[in-house]
């Protein structure tokens, strides 16, 4: 997470925190889109998922930097004569090798390591994005972010520009069942559906942690945490539907009666809805979930191009493979950046009473984030009405990320989306059929 992202995180968190419901305000009965976060999952968030290898000569410069963290005389030789380093406290550039070394030699209170996350270069110039990090394993923290430009001087690489930004991304702490129940209590929410993030561990976006065993461990941990609070938390397992591990993972999920459903995340799993082979594999997972009577919650957005064609494939090829269980589209339109086109396809299909939509539902997690301007907020309200309020479930996705708590997310939804008091009341009281049927 870069500095701008960090600032956005604090802005959103602060706004939502200020909107948190109090005891006298309307609160939803159920949060239909929640998460827990095991220590192993928190470690994934706290460490870059795209850490990269860098050339040995560049790595050597970074090792010299680390070793000379408080010694200007040792720092100076790794910089070019006209090097520049940003003093981010005063927003001024420090110029020249000696001045740079003197400044950085007093900048860090303790030793650090570089964690490279992006690299590009040729035989003369290189550019590197990294974190300044401390600690190992799940205790590793990133105290700052940095962009470094290097130039080759004869046989020696030297740093020409160093652009540090402090502090680093906020550290994510594990969230167990007890903490989540306390969050629900504060928001006056009775129950929550907790969606395992096991799919993180079978994702091509996280090759350093990819493991079917780790995925299953996260699923099991989520089930165990939910089982501690059977009247409050309902566990869904998760998997990558285009992975070789999908079939066996689904079998284990179905056999473990603590799970009441299945969570899929097409973006994280890199599902291509315009790829016939991917569609075939995901359809098989939908069909297997249908046989096992596992409801499905799906983050449908699978990339920047997500729109109407993907929504049509989802309805025509995937939802039809699970006709007997509820299918819940996460984040109303499918997740991440607002897709008015995809939402239109879903809403029009429901309004037309297409058979594929007979058991199709939607949660509004993150829907308020489109309300930065009136136009998309109005579109969201109109599509909710077109879909029908009976199919709209409250969800916060608030265990981690941009939201501080489930109540703040609900208050932001009420403030940002132009629905009536009666419509909000209806959404607050809606309970998904997979919860009513399990009672």
pLDDT tens readout for residues 341-393: 999 999 999 999 999 999 999 999 989 888 778 899 999 999 999 999 999 99
Residue entry with tokens 């701008």 = 4
Residue 203 CB contacts under 8 Å (≥ 6 apart), including other chains: 210, 240, 268, 269, 270
Instruction: Summarize the confidence of residues 226-233 as an average pLDDT.
Output: 97
- Residue 273 CA, chain-centre distance (Å), reads 20
For 388-430, the pLDDT digits (tens) are: 999 999 999 976 654 457 888 999 999 999 999 999 999 999 9
> Would you say 130 and 54 are in contact if contact means Cβ atoms under 8 Å apart?
no
pTM, entire model? 0.79
- The pLDDT mean for the chain works out to 90
pLDDT at 6 over 80: no
Task: Please tell me the number of Cα atoms within 13 Å of 437 on its side-chain side.
Answer: 11
Residue 80's nearest CA partner among 64, 68, 90, 95 is 95
Residue entry with tokens 């130039």 = 151
Q: What is the pLDDT of residue 209?
A: 81
Task: Please tell me the number of Cα atoms within 13 Å of 110 on its side-chain side.
Answer: 5
Instruction: Summarize the confidence of residues 197-223 as an average pLDDT.
Output: 92
Number of other CB atoms surrounding residue 199 within 10 Å:
27
Q: What is the pLDDT of residue 47?
A: 74
Q: What is the pLDDT of residue 4?
A: 37
**Which domains does the chain carry?**
3-38+174-436 (3.20.20.140), 56-165 (3.10.450.50)
The 8-class DSSP code of residue 314 comes to I
Residue 75 DSSP SS3: helix
For 88-104, the pLDDT digits (tens) are: 888 899 999 999 999 99
Instruction: Summarize the confidence of residues 181-188 as an average pLDDT.
Output: 94
In the chain, count H helices and then E strands. Answer: 17, 14
User: Which range (56-65, 91-100, 168-177, 379-388) has the least confidence?
Assistant: 168-177
Separation between Cα atoms, residue 349 and residue 46, nearest integer Å: 41
Residue entry with tokens 């991304």 = 169
Q: At what angle do helices 212-227 and 246-255 cross, to 10 degrees?
A: 20
Residue 134 CB contacts under 8 Å (≥ 6 apart), including other chains: 110, 111, 112, 113, 140, 141, 143
């Amino acid at each position: 997470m870069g500095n701008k992202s960090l600032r956005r995180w604090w802005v959103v968190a602060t706004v939502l925190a200020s909107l948190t419901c109090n005891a006298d305000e309307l609160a939803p009965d159920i949060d239909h889109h929640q998460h827990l976060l095991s220590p192993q999952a928190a470690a994934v968030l706290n460490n870059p998922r795209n850490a990269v290898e860098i050339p040995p000569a560049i790595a050597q410069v970074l090792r010299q930097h680390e070793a000379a963290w408080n010694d200007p005389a040792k720092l100076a030789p790794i910089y070019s004569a006209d090097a520049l380093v940003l003093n981010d406290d005063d927003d001024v550039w420090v110029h020249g090798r000696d001045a740079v070394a003197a400044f950085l030699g007093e900048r860090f209170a303790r030793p650090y390591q570089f964690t490279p996350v992006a690299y590009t270069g040729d035989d003369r110039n290189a550019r590197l994005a990294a974190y300044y990090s401390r600690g190992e394993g799940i205790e590793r923290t990133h105290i700052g972010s940095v962009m470094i430009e290097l130039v080759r001087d004869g046989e020696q690489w030297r740093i020409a520009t160093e652009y540090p930004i402090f502090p680093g991304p906020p550290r994510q702490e594990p969230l167990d069942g007890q903490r989540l129940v306390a969050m629900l209590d504060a928001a006056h929410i009775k129950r929550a559906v907790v969606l395992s993030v096991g799919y993180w561990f079978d994702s091509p976006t996280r090759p350093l942690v990819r493991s079917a065993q780790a995925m299953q461990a996260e699923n099991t941990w989520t089930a165990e945490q939910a089982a501690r609070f059977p009247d409050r938390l309902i566990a869904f397992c998760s998997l990558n539907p285009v992975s070789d591990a999908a079939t066996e993972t689904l079998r284990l999920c179905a056999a473990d009666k603590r799970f009441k459903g299945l969570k899929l995340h097409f973006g994280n799993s890199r599902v291509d809805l315009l790829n016939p082979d991917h569609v075939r594999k995901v359809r098989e997972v939908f069909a297997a979930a249908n046989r096992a009577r596992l409801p499905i919650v799906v983050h449908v957005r699978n990339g920047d191009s997500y729109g109407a064609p993907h929504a049509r494939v989802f309805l025509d090829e995937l939802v039809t493979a699970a006709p007997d269980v509820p299918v819940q589209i996460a984040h109303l339109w499918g997740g991440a950046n607002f897709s008015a086109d995809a939402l239109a396809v879903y809403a029009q299909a429901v309004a037309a009473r297409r058979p594929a939509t007979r058991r199709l539902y939607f949660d509004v997690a993150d829907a308020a984030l489109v309300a930065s301007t009136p136009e998309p907020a109005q579109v969201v309200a109109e599509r909710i009405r077109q879909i029908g309020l009976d199919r709209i479930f409250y969800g916060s996705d608030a265990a981690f990320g941009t939201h501080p708590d489930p109540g703040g997310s609900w208050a932001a939804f009420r403030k940002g989306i132009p629905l009536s008091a009666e419509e909000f009341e209806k959404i607050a009281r809606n309970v998904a059929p997979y919860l009513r049927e399990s009672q």
